[in-house]
Amino acid sequence: MNGVIWNKMQETFVPISSVPVYAMLQQERLKQSRELETHNFQLQNLTLTAFEEKHYLQFYDNNTKVTGICGDVWTLLAQVLNFTLQPVKSNFNSLGLTKTTQEFLRKYNMSYQVGLLDTISNNETDAIPKLEAFSNHLTDLQFTMPLWLSSHRLFFRYDGIYDSMWVTKAFSWKVWFIIFTTLLLLTVCSFWSQILLTRIRDKHKSTTFNEHIFYNFGMLCNQSYIPDALNGRSRILETSLGLFCSILSMAYGAVLFIYMTKRILEPPFDDVDSLVNNTKHYKIVSLNGSVAEMIFKIMPFGAYAAARKTGRFVSASTVDEMHILACSTQRDVYVLYLPEEEYYARKQLMCDLTVTGTKHAIQSYIASGLSRKFKYTRSINLGILKLIETGLLNLLRHDWLQQETDNNIIKVTKIEAIRMDQILVMIGVLCSGVVAALVVLIIEKVVYACTLKRL
């Protein structure tokens, strides 16, 4: 109880808590509030209704106990707060829709699917273990303290393409600049060394600087033939040039096969806007009752509304159904729109999906839901706070979600034969060299024929 009150005796304002009557009222109010926070349930039954979700909540021992990250959280809460947890396996397999949304759909004679939100709004259970904290849900339940923050991403089937420009990407342009600069410096040094050595030996130099560049470049291309006209150069420079070309050849060969077989991922879209505006055969799939589905349904304009109006948004009742659609080989490609850790936690082995989109496009808090008639929400929040402060919640997340994510990163790479499209650039360079050689040959023949006629 805050505030001040006028004291006639002291003729000044004093804190209202200094008045004995108000101090007693304040202490009584704090006592009642504290009882709600530190309530001892004394093994009172608390009903937890849920459906099975892999790694999140799973039933065992004849559906009398639960495990998974959310199941373990509520099991620990039962031990900390001294209540008896009574898990109930629901006949529904989704959260369903809120009462407000159901009334809106009934108004327009639209069908909908009921779920756990109906169970808790009708006070048929005390808690549900996991849902996204969306403000529309507050009409049916109350949230606990958030368990973690979730980011939505786009997942779709995409095999990628081979990088046909791998020849130019084996080294960066800075490395190429250093290579050719070094080659040019070695060529200049070898040219001047030959001039000095031939003058010392009283011999006539019969080669030009262009010939030095040409044959040194040939050594760079692993062509080690050196004509007799270039003899007389410094042996130290010859050895340095040979070592430089050998090391460069080994370095290029080391990354040759890596770049030749490398797939590049260039997704045709980055977010919902580019998906709707720049593609035609991609459809978005979201989970019933999720924040993503509600955004697609209530947004009056923008890409989300365009996807809904053009029939490119589909909602699925389960995550398994979403995976089946995403891994199908139909003409239309289905893109999953769901929390990132939820995808990795439930990832199936039927196909690998590629992630795209910004990590913070849609963020939502994951929390548990309590019945609106449940009085001891603050006790539950205090128990969750203890799990967070002691690190138990992070440990559960690592055991159930992060460990599965790490396992999914390990993939068995299948060795594939090199295809024609992977070496098109190399073949193009060889063909260009052949054409250039033929053009030079024709020019030399023409010049030679013209010279003979003049003679």
Taking only the tens place, the pLDDT of each residue in 133-168 is 888 788 889 999 999 988 888 888 876 665 666 666
First-to-last CA distance in the chain? 119
- 414/450 Cα distance (integer angstroms): 60
d(CA 236, CA 126): 86
Cβ(55)–Cβ(346) below 8 Å: yes
Q: Do domains 4-150+367-398 and 155-159+265-363 have the same CATH topology?
A: yes
Report the top-level CATH class of 155-159+265-363: alpha beta
Domain ranges of the chain: 4-150+367-398, 155-159+265-363, 165-261, 421-453
| Type of residue numbered 374 | F
- Domain 4-150+367-398 belongs to what topology? D-Maltodextrin-Binding Protein; domain 2 (3.40.190)
Yes or no: say if 97 and 291 are a contact pair by the CB < 8 Å rule.
no
pLDDT band at 97 (very low <50, low <70, confident <90, very high): confident
pLDDT category, 224, cuts 50, 70, 90? low
Between CA 361 and CA 359 the distance in angstroms is 6
Give this prediction's pTM: 0.60
- Split at pLDDT 50, 70, 90, the class of 222 is low
Contact 133, 143 (CB under 8 A): yes
Summarize the confidence of residues 303-317 as an average pLDDT: 85
64 HSE (CA, 13 A, CB side): 3
Q: CB-hemisphere CA count at 13 Å for 238?
A: 11
- The rounded mean pLDDT for the chain is 78
Helices (H), 375-423: 377-389, 392-397, 403-409
